[in-house]
Amino acid sequence: MSRLKDKFLNVASGNTYMRLVRYLRPYLGRLFAAIACMTLSSVMAVLPPWLLKNIVDDVLIQKDLFMLNFLALGIVLIYLCKAVFSYGQTYLMNWVGQKVIMDIRVQLYDHMQKMSFRYLYKSRIGDLISRITNDVMILQNLVTNVIIDLVVQSITFVAVIIFLLILNWRLAVITFVVLPITAYVLNVASKKLRLVGYEIQEELGRVVAIAQEALSAIRIVRSFATEDEELDKFKGQNKSNFRALMHGMQIHAFLEGAVEVILIGALALILWIGGRDVVAGRATPGELIAFIGYLGLLVQPVRVLSKVVSGVQRGLAAADRIFEVLNVSTEVRPPRSPIVLKDVKGMIDFEDIYFAYEDKNWILRGINLHICPGEKVAIVGHTGAGKSTLVDLIPRFYDPNQGCVRIDGHDVRQLDLKTLRRHIGIVPQDPVLLKGSIAYNIAYGCPWASREDIVEAADRAGILDFVKSLPRGFDTEVGERGVTLSGGQRQRIAIARAIVRNPRILIMDEATSSLDAAMEQHIHESMQRAMEGRTSLIIAHRLSTVRNADRIIVLEKGEIVEEGDHGTLLKREGVYANLYSLQMGEKSRA
Ligand SMILES: Nc1ncnc2c1ncn2[C@@H]1O[C@H](COP(=O)(O)OP(=O)(O)OP(=O)(O)O)[C@@H](O)[C@H]1O
């Protein structure tokens, strides 16, 4: 099972690499320039020990002053070039990295905007935001810093190895045997040191715990006169703490010394063999000094490259989390050759609709409904009956699994998605206002609305007097740091927002939250005015709304079980009559 998982993860990471490379493609020119800078700055970094060799051999031993001038100037030039190439590598790689990250972030956000509600409602928004922020930042580290480290340190590592081999291949081979063994011993010792440190901390913790326990229960200790026993316990723990500490310190002190001896021993061995080569004339003193210099240069790449692996893993994991979201299909796909509806009459047909959010768990089953232009239809039913789901199919928030929804005889899946939604006004149950002015909120999604249109919509929604009473009128800010609006006021702004675009179809989900009787009446009037001349579907909870509808549709477990006007349905004494009497009961109790 775990092998299967490993295999899957490897495959996923392989794909992740390829996918990341695709994002780099538009910036290949700058990427190659950055890599060229990295290569040159790494080469510059490994030249100084070679110059040191010449200083020792040619200047100090041969007393060549011209060479001294040349080498002094050379060192300055090398570091100057290194600084220029380092600047280039950092600037260019960050440019590429930031561009890639910007592309991924924008693509991710665009994708999230189009993602199915099914997925969005299932996911935690915090998690999605963290993918846009945290994961993208971790990925940015991979694309910039980790790539720089990987390229620069790998080139430095290889270059140092080559220089070591050129300088003295015999000594180099011995070094390649001695150094890994030393590194291994050092690694084991440092792990042991960490462990000892941890054990000492634990022992100390126990001493503190005993004192804390006894002091916090001091009343009991005194009441039972157990001070001496507690003191003995404390002394005992201190003794064992002392023993553990001394034992730990012994190991600590021994290992610290041993580590130094091993390191110096390895260096001494290399010096001893190298020194014999110098004495025997197989190598020059400068070569030996340069060799030791190169050994010093080897430390940084080994240290950085061992960390790069975890940086790459973290970056790839972040990329996987980002691609996981990008892989989620958008579900509602715009048609290839869309029909753009210019004038909508507002006729709606649901033809044999079946819909399930998951598998075959049908939320709507076999819905057939014809709604005439300008008709006002109230949809009622118990909670969870499928009312919201049914109306969500009209603007294509979801597509049905079977059957089709038509507007003026056109299957909505054939219509241009943007214009379809522009012809539909929606008032949700719990309207959300965006940060901005009241005018901005009313004209949201309708940038062509003039101030007169906004005022008219506010008037029809019954919010005009309230807005005028505010010191800044329509320019009053809402939301954070703005004016706080009541539920009823927000509802009416949402009604104004839905009708400012003069939609032919209006979908309203009545608020179920308790509003006082006066506000309920105001909202009802606003809704009635908003519905005038439009095909309207209202998910109705209030008796007044239901009574005024041309037709009432009763949904029960995803099926239309009753249909007709208020009087007819009451006479039938079925589900509607039942719902109605329940509401009447609640109302009279209130
Ligand atoms: N995004 C979703 N994913 C999975 N199941 C969902 C989703 N939205 C709604 N449901 C389920 O579908 C069923 C119908 O929900 P729907 O919101 O359409 O009912 P409703 O009649 O409008 O209810 P209410 O009056 O409470 O708003 C419910 O059982 C609900 O749990």
* Pairwise CA distance, residues 492 & 109, whole Å: 30
**Number of separate helices (H) and strands (E) present in the chain:** 22, 12
Residue 384 CA to ligand 1 center (angstroms) comes to 5
In short, whether 361's Cβ falls inside 6 Å of ligand 1 is: no
Give the position, in ligand 1's atom list, of the atom nearest the Cα of 117. Answer: 1
Give the position, in ligand 1's atom list, of the atom nearest the Cα of 385. Answer: 21
Residue 233 CA to ligand 1 center (angstroms) comes to 63
In short, whether 116's Cβ falls inside 6 Å of ligand 1 is: no
pLDDT of residue 518: 66
- For a ligand 1 pocket test, name from 118, 122, 387, 555 the mutation site with the most ligand atoms within 8 angstroms of its C-beta: 387
Residue 488 CA to ligand 1 center (angstroms) comes to 24
Cβ proximity of 364 and 558 under 8 Å = yes
* Pairwise CA distance, residues 580 & 588, whole Å: 12
* Pairwise CA distance, residues 23 & 99, whole Å: 9
* Bridge-based pairing state of the strands 535-539 and 362-371: unpaired
Q: What string of pLDDT tens digits covers the 590 residues of the chain?
A: 344 334 334 444 568 888 888 999 999 999 999 999 999 999 999 999 988 888 888 888 888 788 888 888 999 999 999 999 999 999 999 999 999 999 999 998 998 888 877 777 777 777 888 888 888 888 888 888 888 888 999 999 999 999 999 988 888 888 888 878 877 877 787 777 777 777 777 777 888 888 888 888 888 878 878 888 889 988 998 888 888 788 878 877 887 787 778 778 888 888 898 899 889 988 899 999 999 999 888 888 888 887 787 788 888 888 888 888 888 877 778 888 888 888 888 899 999 999 998 877 899 999 999 999 999 999 998 888 899 999 999 999 899 999 999 999 999 999 998 888 888 999 888 888 888 889 998 988 888 888 889 998 898 888 888 888 988 888 888 866 556 777 788 888 988 998 888 889 999 887 655 566 666 777 777 777 777 888 999 998 776 778 778 899 999 999 999 888 888 888 888 888 888 887 776 555 55
Residue 379 CA to ligand 1 center (angstroms) comes to 14
Give the position, in ligand 1's atom list, of the atom nearest the Cα of 392. Answer: 18
List of domains in the chain: 1-168+302-331 (1.20.1560.10), 431-502 (3.40.50.300)
Residue 388 CA to ligand 1 center (angstroms) comes to 7
* Bridge-based pairing state of the strands 402-407 and 505-509: unpaired
- Rounded to the nearest 5 percent, the helix, strand and coil shares of the chain are 70, 10, 20
* Pairwise CA distance, residues 381 & 563, whole Å: 12
DSSP H or E stretch at residue 525: helix 517-531
Which residue is closest in CA terms to ligand 1's atom 30?
384
Residue 363 CA to ligand 1 center (angstroms) comes to 8
- Token pair belonging to 347: 């006729």
pLDDT of residue 2: 40
Which residue is closest in CA terms to ligand 1's atom 31?
384
Q: How far is CA 203 from CA 251, 558, 562, 584, in A?
A: 16, 66, 76, 71
Give the position, in ligand 1's atom list, of the atom nearest the Cα of 386. Answer: 18
Residue 385 CA to ligand 1 center (angstroms) comes to 7
pLDDT of residue 3: 41
In short, whether 357's Cβ falls inside 6 Å of ligand 1 is: yes
Beta bridge partners of 404: 351
pLDDT of residue 7: 39
In short, whether 430's Cβ falls inside 6 Å of ligand 1 is: no
pLDDT of residue 305: 82
